[in-house]
Chain A
């Protein structure tokens, strides 16, 4: 049985999740702990800030009540008590497989379609597989999950469109300007979002980056990171005329820039188009600028609107993504169900091969070399075709899942190799009878 026990941002608040966030070594230790159960053969532990999950494989005969024992082990790992079970969820078999695929594809993430989770799943798998904590089932399952995660991201638009404020600002700049290579950027102030915007524009080969701050050293620090130039706060207005994208992230009592200032700047500019990104709260740029024809001013509300729009678009892709995942779920189960029949298939091969060998031996003395050769070729072909017919039909059974325990037992009885003890001269016996 394939099973998952875990918690995520939907099932547990951050205070609880925090306590279950594991480092790579801790994840490996927990996996090892779970493997100590006799019934558990494989285990992988995934831990990010938004989820911690244990994926494991038990023997076929395990009942779902066994999962409670594993849950106990997990909770004990962090020395917590029974009450924490309410934050956990569990899945087994098909639901478990589907869950992992969804996680991989970013469909279970806080930011729908995010890319980071796929790398995190890969790392978690690597931690276990390198310690030989996985075998064929989880190996196959996780590789299917990687494939599915990649496919969903390439075939749907689930990961397209900026879902953070800084990326929304850069996306917007892209919609206005397209090519950044001849654009100049000015960052006023500091802060994570502002710096992220600067970084993204740097990565898009913006021509020049200028940074200004009331504290010159802070401006220098940021400018150095992105091969930009720091400007003293008293002097930044001179730079405005040459800037195409102006990002403002400062705390002010009054607007930094007024409409009149900007109008006079526009007159002196070559390109009348100008983009202001106001990341400040309260706003630092006169919102009257929005009225000017060639000026685009986006404040936090506007950027949030961009993010909301992109998020809606991603949600529209969910159904398509889920359909894609279903085909991977089916693929996996085709393989997984066929595993049961591996011993049966081996039996089929053993029986037919044994009969083939025995029959050839029975007639070897009565034939010359050339005839033996022909008989061997015939027998090999005959046995092979018979084998393949049976094996194909057995595999069809697993595809349609049209079997139960009885089927398994019947097949095993039919192809039990000991029944292949054929005595020599059996053909002669038949004729005489």
Chain B
């Protein structure tokens, strides 16, 4: 028995080395498989929307679930590895954003018991997941800047806010489709598949409020943190101005609803406009304008 011990020792050493190596290889290559799983799920959700066959949506969930788990694990490990919140680069933030969108969707599907919404949500999710997966590199960034809690709060609340706005837009689009089908008495697709109009409208409004609250916290914490981080910080940075514009837009929508009874289509149009501004802020500015807020 005693003679086995050194062999056992060596064996467990080799095993753990192997596992670490495997994990590291998996880690750097995990994003494409995850994207593949998400893509399959998206196609299945669209198939469900068209055919309404329960099997397609069940298959979608079974296929996407491991992807989701792997995705969450990836971000967690990234954070551990780099000893920071995994949101320092555009693409990391986007990856986190995708994860959050999916979690919100799961909640939405559970509460409304409606699975056709997935056909609207997942294409958007895929858009961001593809961009993120193709470009994400595991890099170390200047540690001090990104280790602070304030940074964590800022990025986190910004991402939650943006997720809420994305859902608001999707709900707005669904509202308008449903509205036109009922109004024009042309029952093509939406009439049979979407939740009731009033529900779409109230969910949209709730999303806008949640998004607005998180955006407010996000902007404020961002401003405070940036002042500490960068010396040449200016309130007139293009990215920050656009964020305030976005903030005003949603404020307008919420006030309009509360005070002037702007509901239904107006809320829907505003949520779409908000999304366009959001997209512009996020994408265009990064590509075209140079900004201290590099993403």
Chain A residues with CB under 8 Å of chain B are 157, 161, 172, 174-179, 271-273, 290, 293-294, 296, 298, 302, 305-306, 309, 313
Q: In the complex the two chains form, is B178's CB within 8 Å of A272's CB?
A: no
Q: In the complex the two chains form, is A176's CB within 8 Å of B187's CB?
A: no
Closest chain-B Cβ to A270's Cβ sits at a distance in Å of 8
| Complex contacts, A174 vs chain B, CB 8 Å | 196
- Tell me which of A157, A172, A178, A309 contacts B52 (CB under 8 A): A157
Closest chain-A Cβ to B98's Cβ sits at a distance in Å of 29
Contact with A along B198-210 (1 / 0, CB 8 A): 1100000000000
Q: In the complex the two chains form, is B52's CB within 8 Å of A293's CB?
A: no
Nearest first, the 9 closest Cβ-Cβ pairs linking A and B are A178-B196, A309-B187, A178-B199, A177-B198, A176-B197, A302-B185, A178-B198, A175-B196, A305-B185
Closest chain-B Cβ to A408's Cβ sits at a distance in Å of 43
- Are A273 and B185 CB-contacts (below 8 A) given A175-B178, A175-B191, A293-B264? no
> What would 18 A/B residue contacts be, using CB atoms closer than 8 Å?
A175-B178, A175-B182, A175-B197, A177-B197, A177-B198, A178-B196, A178-B199, A179-B196, A271-B263, A272-B261, A272-B264, A293-B265, A294-B263, A296-B183, A302-B185, A306-B187, A309-B191, A313-B192
Interface size, chain B (Cβ < 8 Å): 17
A270 nearest CB neighbor, chain B only: B261
In the bound assembly, the distance between CA atoms of A294 and B183 in angstroms comes to: 9
Closest chain-A Cβ to B114's Cβ sits at a distance in Å of 10
In the bound assembly, the distance between CA atoms of A305 and B178 in angstroms comes to: 16
| Complex contacts, A305 vs chain B, CB 8 Å | 185, 187
Q: In the complex the two chains form, is B196's CB within 8 Å of A294's CB?
A: no
- Are A273 and B198 CB-contacts (below 8 A) given A293-B265, A294-B264? yes
Contact with A along B50-86 (1 / 0, CB 8 A): 0010000000000000000000000000000000000
In the bound assembly, the distance between CA atoms of A206 and B216 in angstroms comes to: 39
In the bound assembly, the distance between CA atoms of A179 and B199 in angstroms comes to: 8
- Which of B191, B198, B264 has the most C-beta atoms of chain A within 10 angstroms of its own C-beta? B198
Chain B residues with CB under 8 Å of chain A are 52, 178, 182-183, 185, 187, 191-192, 195-199, 261, 263-265
| Complex contacts, B197 vs chain A, CB 8 Å | 175-178, 273
| Complex contacts, B187 vs chain A, CB 8 Å | 305-306, 309
| Complex contacts, A294 vs chain B, CB 8 Å | 263-264
Closest chain-B Cβ to A161's Cβ sits at a distance in Å of 8
| Complex contacts, A177 vs chain B, CB 8 Å | 196-198
In the bound assembly, the distance between CA atoms of A128 and B197 in angstroms comes to: 50
A175 nearest CB neighbor, chain B only: B196
| Complex contacts, B178 vs chain A, CB 8 Å | 175
- Which of A161, A302, A309 has the most C-beta atoms of chain B within 10 angstroms of its own C-beta? A309
In the bound assembly, the distance between CA atoms of A305 and B185 in angstroms comes to: 8
In the bound assembly, the distance between CA atoms of A306 and B198 in angstroms comes to: 20
Closest chain-B Cβ to A160's Cβ sits at a distance in Å of 9
Q: In the complex the two chains form, is A273's CB within 8 Å of B264's CB?
A: yes
Closest chain-B Cβ to A197's Cβ sits at a distance in Å of 17
In the bound assembly, the distance between CA atoms of A174 and B114 in angstroms comes to: 14
- Are A176 and B52 CB-contacts (below 8 A) given A293-B264, A313-B192? no
Closest chain-B Cβ to A289's Cβ sits at a distance in Å of 12
In the bound assembly, the distance between CA atoms of A176 and B197 in angstroms comes to: 5
Q: In the complex the two chains form, is A178's CB within 8 Å of B263's CB?
A: no
Closest chain-A Cβ to B85's Cβ sits at a distance in Å of 39
Closest chain-B Cβ to A25's Cβ sits at a distance in Å of 44
A160 nearest CB neighbor, chain B only: B192
Closest chain-B Cβ to A252's Cβ sits at a distance in Å of 23
B197 nearest CB neighbor, chain A only: A176
Q: In the complex the two chains form, is A176's CB within 8 Å of B265's CB?
A: no
| Complex contacts, A179 vs chain B, CB 8 Å | 196, 198-199
Q: In the complex the two chains form, is A176's CB within 8 Å of B183's CB?
A: no
Q: In the complex the two chains form, is A178's CB within 8 Å of B195's CB?
A: yes
- Tell me which of A272, A298, A309, A313 contacts B263 (CB under 8 A): A272
- Tell me which of A176, A290, A298, A309 contacts B198 (CB under 8 A): A176
Closest chain-A Cβ to B18's Cβ sits at a distance in Å of 48
| Complex contacts, B182 vs chain A, CB 8 Å | 172, 175-176, 296
B54 nearest CB neighbor, chain A only: A155
Closest chain-A Cβ to B202's Cβ sits at a distance in Å of 9
Closest chain-A Cβ to B172's Cβ sits at a distance in Å of 15
| Complex contacts, B185 vs chain A, CB 8 Å | 298, 302, 305
| Complex contacts, A306 vs chain B, CB 8 Å | 187
In the bound assembly, the distance between CA atoms of A294 and B175 in angstroms comes to: 13
B181 nearest CB neighbor, chain A only: A175
B188 nearest CB neighbor, chain A only: A309
Closest chain-B Cβ to A318's Cβ sits at a distance in Å of 16
Closest chain-A Cβ to B259's Cβ sits at a distance in Å of 13
In the bound assembly, the distance between CA atoms of A174 and B187 in angstroms comes to: 15
In the bound assembly, the distance between CA atoms of A174 and B197 in angstroms comes to: 9
| Complex contacts, A176 vs chain B, CB 8 Å | 182, 196-198
A172 nearest CB neighbor, chain B only: B182
In the bound assembly, the distance between CA atoms of A296 and B185 in angstroms comes to: 10
Closest chain-B Cβ to A71's Cβ sits at a distance in Å of 44
| Complex contacts, B264 vs chain A, CB 8 Å | 272-273, 293-294
In the bound assembly, the distance between CA atoms of A175 and B180 in angstroms comes to: 12
Closest chain-A Cβ to B201's Cβ sits at a distance in Å of 8
| Complex contacts, A172 vs chain B, CB 8 Å | 182
Closest chain-B Cβ to A137's Cβ sits at a distance in Å of 35
Q: What would 4 more interface pairs be, CB under 8 Å, given A294-B263, A298-B185, A306-B187?
A: A174-B196, A271-B263, A273-B263, A309-B187
In the bound assembly, the distance between CA atoms of A131 and B187 in angstroms comes to: 50
In the bound assembly, the distance between CA atoms of A294 and B191 in angstroms comes to: 17
In the bound assembly, the distance between CA atoms of A306 and B188 in angstroms comes to: 11
Closest chain-A Cβ to B257's Cβ sits at a distance in Å of 11
Closest chain-A Cβ to B263's Cβ sits at a distance in Å of 6
In the bound assembly, the distance between CA atoms of A178 and B191 in angstroms comes to: 13
In the bound assembly, the distance between CA atoms of A175 and B52 in angstroms comes to: 17
| Complex contacts, B195 vs chain A, CB 8 Å | 178
Closest chain-B Cβ to A218's Cβ sits at a distance in Å of 32
| Complex contacts, B261 vs chain A, CB 8 Å | 272
Closest chain-A Cβ to B38's Cβ sits at a distance in Å of 29
- Which of A175, A179, A313 has the most C-beta atoms of chain B within 10 angstroms of its own C-beta? A175
In the bound assembly, the distance between CA atoms of A426 and B52 in angstroms comes to: 70
B200 nearest CB neighbor, chain A only: A178
| Complex contacts, A157 vs chain B, CB 8 Å | 52
